[in-house]
A and B are shown apart, each in its own frame.
Chain A
């Protein structure tokens, strides 16, 4: 096992988040009214156990992070060397805008925008082609699922 000199901030942060989440679960459990019945255990026991489990895993991983890094990690330093942040942001924007838009702009418009943004996020340099495919695909999917399979999707301003 190779030991690294530096502590990986991400590993430590995730460990601490798990620890915090576990504490939160255990803390919130106190707010659940206890009704025991015959079983002698009510709705509190499992949340307590699970919260404790999370805390233990968080502590275990934090210890690993501080003592040479998480164990048996694949060697992906090269892969992670140059993250494409723009790609990440464009795809995130696509999904979030889709959530905001779908209610009033309808499925077809929201999905078209999503498609174009995700394609751009993957470095597509052909926005017109993407737009064309997006409109056709969203329309086909919309009619296939609403007419053919009985799913209900919002039509938006052009529907009816």
Chain B
């Protein structure tokens, strides 16, 4: 009941003319930028962060939430029509949706993706609404030791457990942590690793880092290695209205995808990559049309797209209740809060209820706007896909440099932007993941703060991290997520050896 009251007052905030307008602008901008090939959700939110700077915190965050949802949706459209996934979570959509488009069913693929996103986004937001208060109750029991342990868990899963190589993932994490060290120490005010450069006293802005890695690094990489021939854009064929058969084959995958996506979004498991693949595998197993998978099965678009969007809502749960970002995009959203001096966490539900509940209410509205806006306007988004590559990347770099320069009007930030761009280029070239850098950069200073607070409470006794039950549990889980996959691999290898040299899978 209390939650419903809070939600209703949230709607009062979100439905004000200004906030409704900002949500609308955010969704539109997010879709328009997110649909551009090569621009994933993380880059979209980083590029558009400066655009929100002129508004009050509530309005800005409502606009930002719209940008986030719009970017997710725009990315799916690109995947289906162009087969260039903007991020790992849309690989499956790119595969199956693009095959549908090739068979002249682009309309149905876009529709099931849009409606699936709406269903998953709305259910995800309902879950966020009603589970958050419980998560806040738990989070209120968290002291510095617990926060530190949860951050360690996030570090480990983002870098060492997910991704192709633990060595490269951890290297990226430590690189991010190193960048995070630059600036004034939050406890003693001492300058660290500023090398005597006054511009470095405030540390590196996450927007500069994200835009440098994603926009400048990616642009350099594409120009150097991938700029051959034009992309093939699938024509928008087929009605954008789904047939009765399409509905029948879509609604269950939507719900199953949502059920997979939301919980995976909530835990620090690197966002939507795992649930989208799981959803695809599930749908393939359950479908009566299993033979169509790989050739454009509608279930293979409906399920993973729902999982992707539900996981996006799920990601907001640890972000809002604990201040814990678990994906690159979430790290930038956290930076958006910090730009107003707000630290997401259980206390924010108490001190800024209009902001938090206004934001949550705006997500319901944003989902409706997305659905109403996108299906009719799909022709406009398709036109954006046809922008020639030279103009597209030239335009992206104008926005990238403007975002970096606009922070404090200093050429120094542009030098940093280029330097980090070179880093991004090398990382992309050698398959070093980027998300751990951003998570390390933003969580590094926070984790150090919590660590030192915890030790201040225990008067320097390190055992505080294992004697507090919640903290000990979280650390035990951390150890498990490292050991279990390795052990499993070992067992599989031994089994394979025992049976003879049959290749696994």
Contact = CB atoms under 8 A, between A and B. Distances in A.
A64 interface: yes
30 contacts: A25-B178, A25-B181, A32-B185, A39-B452, A40-B459, A43-B187, A43-B192, A46-B451, A54-B174, A60-B170, A64-B167, A70-B431, A73-B165, A73-B431, A80-B429, A88-B224, A92-B418, A94-B397, A95-B418, A98-B401, A102-B401, A114-B394, A119-B393, A124-B388, A134-B394, A141-B398, A145-B51, A145-B402, A153-B405, A154-B409
A57 B174 contact: yes
Given A122-B389, A124-B388, A145-B402, A130 B394 contact: yes
Contacts of A61: 167-168, 171
Interface stretch (B215-223, B292-300, B364-372): B215-223
B318 interface: no
Contacts of B431: 70, 73-74
Contacts of B50: 145, 149, 151
Given A99-B411, A122-B393, A46 B181 contact: yes
B120 to A, nearest CB: 30
A136 to B, nearest CB: 11
A123 B171 contact: no
A96 B188 contact: no
A138 B401 CA distance: 12
B471 to A, nearest CB: 16
Contacts of B171: 18, 54, 57-58, 60-61
B192 A47 contact: yes
Nearest to B407: A151
A77 to B, nearest CB: 11
Q: Which 9 A-B pairs have the closest CB atoms?
A: A40-B460, A122-B390, A124-B390, A99-B414, A87-B223, A119-B390, A57-B171, A118-B394, A39-B456
Given A28-B193, A79-B226, A124-B391, 19 more contacts: A14-B426, A25-B193, A35-B190, A39-B455, A43-B187, A46-B181, A46-B444, A47-B181, A47-B192, A64-B167, A73-B164, A73-B431, A88-B223, A102-B401, A115-B394, A118-B390, A137-B398, A151-B50, A152-B406
B417 interface: yes
Interface string A48-92: 001101100110110010000011111000011001110110111
A91 B54 contact: no
* Chain B interface, DSSP helix/strand/loop, else mixed: helix
Contact of B406 (A94, A95, A145): A145
A150 interface: yes
Contacts of A149: 50-51, 53-54
B149 to A, nearest CB: 16
A118 to B, nearest CB: 4
B395 interface: yes
Interface residues of B, number: 64
Contacts of B181: 25, 46-47, 50
Contacts, number: 211
Interface of A: 10-11, 14, 18, 21-22, 25, 28, 32-33, 35, 37-43, 46-47, 50-51, 53-54, 57-58, 60-61, 64, 70-74, 79-80, 83-85, 87-88, 90-92, 94-96, 98-100, 102-103, 107, 111, 114-116, 118-124, 130, 133-134, 137-138, 141, 145, 149-154
Nearest to A53: B174
A103 B413 CA distance: 12
A50 B226 contact: no
A32 B190 contact: yes
Contacts of A133: 391
Nearest to B405: A102
A41 B460 CA distance: 7
Contacts of A32: 185, 190, 192
Contact of B223 (A33, A60, A84, A152): A84
Contact of A122 (B227, B411, B459): B227
Contact of A95 (B388, B401, B453, B460): B401
A123 B390 contact: yes
Contacts of B168: 61, 70
Contacts of B227: 84, 87, 122-123
Contact of A70 (B165, B190, B193, B395): B165
A42 B189 CA distance: 11
B347 interface: no
B421 interface: yes
Interface in B207-241: 216, 219-220, 223-227
A10 B185 CA distance: 34
B205 interface: no
A32 to B, nearest CB: 6
Contact of A96 (B402, B418, B432, B455): B418
Contacts of A120: 390
A98 B393 CA distance: 15
Interface in B147-195: 164-165, 167-168, 170-171, 174-175, 177-178, 181, 185, 187-188, 190, 192-193
B389 A153 contact: no
B456 A84 contact: no
A121 B190 contact: no
Contact of B414 (A83, A87, A95, A151): A95
Contacts of B459: 38, 40
B415 interface: yes
B399 interface: yes
Interface string B370-409: 0000000000000000001111011101110110011001
B220 A41 contact: no
A14 B164 CA distance: 18
Interface string B408-451: 01010011011001000010011110000000000010001001
Contact of A40 (B170, B388, B417, B455): B455
A35 B390 contact: no
A14 B391 CA distance: 32
Nearest to A51: B178
Contacts of A71: 164-165, 167
Contacts of A38: 455-456, 459-460
